[in-house]
Amino acid sequence: MNALGRHVLAEIYGCDFNILNDIKKVEEIMVNAALEAGAEIREVVFHKFSPQGISGVVVISESHLAIHTWPELGYAAVDVFTCGENVNPWDACNYLTENFGSGHMTATEIKRGVTDGLQKEAVNL
């Protein structure tokens, strides 16, 4: 089965409150996770909520990494979408889990843009 991309949806639990509530630290860890996976960074945007929590995205040439944190719960919702053969989304997820001080991650990978038969279907639209 050929796919255009791999999309990992990760649930990261047991994270350090102080890390998940520090916008500079979350941004740094997300950027380093993208680099760890072999991605090329294009744009970085993060926002800090009051009283706590951060949302952000790292746009990469190969797609994106996004995060939403709930520091009070020690929880981060992460998605890593990569296209091509050179970037491994699991490397990014494992890096995030370790650097958020987490004790547990569950994740699901979805194949995006499965191309087997895609050309034929597009022609028949």
Backbone angles phi, psi at 87, to 5 degrees: -120, 130
Tell me the three state secondary structure of residue 77. Answer: strand
User: Encoding tokens for residue 33?
Assistant: 């996770």
- For the chain, the straight-line distance linking the first and the last C-alpha, in angstroms and rounded, comes to 22
Query: Rounded to 5 degrees, what are φ and ψ at 27?
Result: -60, -45
Active site residues: 63, 68, 83
Task: Report DSSP state, residue 54.
Answer: E
**Encoding tokens for residue 67?**
């995060």
